[in-house]
Structure 1
Amino acid sequence: MNILLVYAHPEPRSLNGSLKNFAVKRLEEAGHEVQVSDLYAMQWKATLDADDNTNRQADARFDPALDSKIALENGWQSKDIELEQEKLMWADALILQFPMWWFSMPAILKGWVERVYAYGLAYGVGEHSDTHWGDRYGEGKLKGKRAMLIVTTGGWESHYSPRGINGPIDDILFPIQHGILYYPGFDVLPPYLVYRTGRVDEARFAQVCGELGQRLDHLWQTAPIPFRPQNAGAYKIPECTLRDDIAPENSGLSIHVE
């Protein structure tokens, strides 16, 4: 299988750097083809701006979505965006690896998403009608591919528990897993998480590699998170709200998981 690992950490000698090297080696030894987008090493431009359309008029008003659509349709995207999109479409599975900084991904990785996920590729696809509100949340051009997060954090696991001060980890990662990955069609696997990174010694690192290795070995056997598809009947269209008879006593992010 073809696997794209998009990696966001500025220090190659970090825990993340070691885990990235381990993951690539493990996957390649299993016979997979792996490409790595090391965003800091690539000096990836994080900012989505008017320069991403190489053929726009200098005095034209910048419209991020419209410019993205026009550039994709006409082959006017900047070369760095085009190359990452080629990797994305080549891949059978996408792995996003990053340290959790301020409850989210590093800005450079968010910028990769904003620039590579062009209008007409990751969003803005499919019909919009009274019965079908675009090809998204379980549909889309990335449907059939798998995706997984590898996330490190300095906090304790208990800090991210259902009653933890930081909030449940599933809720914190929901915008990434449900929004960035499930939205354009990926089957999203449960994340692999490393807590208390400042306390990872050699013994703990060996344990982490053992656990991560098992996750990578079963990349195609692991059941994805059962997010509810948008256009399969669970949601009222075009309101895109969950039907009243589904989880009627509940609200919040968890209702979007079966």
Structure 2
Amino acid sequence: MHVLLVYAHPEPRSLNGSLRNFSVGRLEGAGHVVRVSDLYAMKWKASLDAGDSTARQADARFDPSLDSRRAFESGLQSRDIALEQDKLLWADALILQFPLWWFSMPAILKGWVERVYAYGFAYGVGEHSDARWGDRYGEGTLAGKRAMLVVTAGGWESHYGPRGINGPIDDVLFPIQHGILYYPGFDVLPPFVIYRTSRIDEARFSGICDALGRRLDDLWKTPPIPFRPQNAGAYEIPALTLRPDVSPEQSGFAAHIGQEATGAPVSGLP
């Protein structure tokens, strides 16, 4: 299988750097082909701007969506964007690895999403009508591929528990897992989260690698998070709200996950 690992940490000698190296070795040792997009090493340009199109009038008004669509459809995207799109199409599975900074991904990784997820590639695809609202949330360009987050967090696991001060980790990561990965079609696996990163000694690191190794070994066996597909009948279209009879007792993020969710720990750690 082909695996794309998009990695966002500025220090290669960090915990993240060690985990990236471990993951590449484990996957390649199992016979998979791995490509790594090391965003800091690549000096990835994070800001989406008019320069992302190679042919536009200098005095033209910049419209992020329309310019993205024209550049994608006409083959006029900047080369760095097109190369990352090719990697996504090549990959059977995507791993996004990053430290949790201010309750989200580092800016450089968010910029990778904003620029690579072009109009016509990751969004704005499919029929928009009273019957369906585009190919998204379970459908789309990247449907049939798998995706997983590997996330490090400085806080304790209890800080991200059901009653923790930071909010449940599933809620913190929902915009990434549902909005960035599931939206263009990925089957999203439960994340692998490592907590309290400043308190990791050799023994704990060994245990983390054992647990991560098992998750990587099961990359094509682990059941994905059962997000509700948009066009399968659970949502009223074009309002895109859940039908009144679908989980009527629930609201918020949890309402968009089917009842087959297991409630198992999301981190994969013992």
TM-score tier after normalising by the smaller chain length: over 0.9
One-letter amino acid of the structure 1 residue matched with residue 53 of structure 2: N
The separation in 1 between residues aligned to 2:237 and 2:164, in whole angstroms, is: 35
The separation in 2 between residues aligned to 1:153 and 1:193, in whole angstroms, is: 7
Which residue of structure 2 aligns with residue 134 of structure 1?
134
SS in 1 for 2:149: strand
| Cα distance, 1:192 vs structure 2 | 0.2
Which residue of structure 1 aligns with residue 72 of structure 2?
72
SS in 2 for 1:147: strand
The separation in 1 between residues aligned to 2:138 and 2:251, in whole angstroms, is: 21
The separation in 2 between residues aligned to 1:137 and 1:75, in whole angstroms, is: 26
Q: Does 1:45 align with 2:45?
A: yes
Which residue of structure 1 aligns with residue 253 of structure 2?
253
One-letter amino acid of the structure 2 residue matched with residue 253 of structure 1: F
One-letter amino acid of the structure 1 residue matched with residue 90 of structure 2: W
SS in 2 for 1:40: coil
SS in 2 for 1:165: coil
**Aligned residues: CA RMSD:** 0.4
Which residue of structure 1 aligns with residue 263 of structure 2?
none
1:221-240 equivalences under 5 Å are 221-240=221-240
The separation in 2 between residues aligned to 1:69 and 1:133, in whole angstroms, is: 18
One-letter amino acid of the structure 2 residue matched with residue 90 of structure 1: W
Segments of structure 1 that go 5 or more residues without pairing to the other structure are: none
Which residue of structure 1 aligns with residue 119 of structure 2?
119
SS in 2 for 1:94: strand
Which residue of structure 1 aligns with residue 99 of structure 2?
99
Which residue of structure 2 aligns with residue 143 of structure 1?
143
| Cα distance, 1:249 vs structure 2 | 1.8
The separation in 1 between residues aligned to 2:133 and 2:75, in whole angstroms, is: 27
Identity among equivalent positions (%) equals 77
1:195-210 equivalences under 5 Å are 195-210=195-210
Which residue of structure 1 aligns with residue 261 of structure 2?
none
1:8-19 equivalences under 5 Å are 8-19=8-19
SS in 2 for 1:193: strand
Which residue of structure 1 aligns with residue 5 of structure 2?
5
Which residue of structure 2 aligns with residue 88 of structure 1?
88
| Cα distance, 1:180 vs structure 2 | 0.1
| Cα distance, 1:250 vs structure 2 | 1.6
SS in 1 for 2:3: strand
Which residue of structure 1 aligns with residue 56 of structure 2?
56
Q: Deviations over 1:185-215 (max 9, x none)?
A: 0000000000000001100000000000000
SS in 1 for 2:40: helix
SS in 2 for 1:42: coil
SS in 2 for 1:206: helix
Which residue of structure 1 aligns with residue 267 of structure 2?
none
| Cα distance, 1:145 vs structure 2 | 0.2
The separation in 1 between residues aligned to 2:248 and 2:212, in whole angstroms, is: 37
SS in 2 for 1:41: coil
SS in 1 for 2:41: helix
| Cα distance, 1:93 vs structure 2 | 0.3
One-letter amino acid of the structure 1 residue matched with residue 124 of structure 2: G
| Cα distance, 1:247 vs structure 2 | 1.2
Q: Deviations over 1:147-166 (max 9, x none)?
A: 00000000000000010000
| Cα distance, 1:74 vs structure 2 | 0.7
The separation in 2 between residues aligned to 1:53 and 1:212, in whole angstroms, is: 39
SS in 2 for 1:212: helix
TM-score, normalised via structure 1 length:
1.00
Segments of structure 2 that go 5 or more residues without pairing to the other structure are: 259-270
One-letter amino acid of the structure 2 residue matched with residue 17 of structure 1: G
Q: Deviations over 1:205-242 (max 9, x none)?
A: 00000000000000000000000000000000000000
TM-score, normalised via structure 2 length:
0.95
| Cα distance, 1:114 vs structure 2 | 0.3
One-letter amino acid of the structure 1 residue matched with residue 64 of structure 2: P
When the two structures are aligned, how many residues end up with a matched partner?
258
Which residue of structure 2 aligns with residue 242 of structure 1?
242
SS in 1 for 2:6: strand
The separation in 2 between residues aligned to 1:237 and 1:125, in whole angstroms, is: 16
SS in 2 for 1:20: helix
| Cα distance, 1:16 vs structure 2 | 0.1
The separation in 2 between residues aligned to 1:246 and 1:92, in whole angstroms, is: 32
Q: Deviations over 1:87-121 (max 9, x none)?
A: 11000000000000000000000000000000001
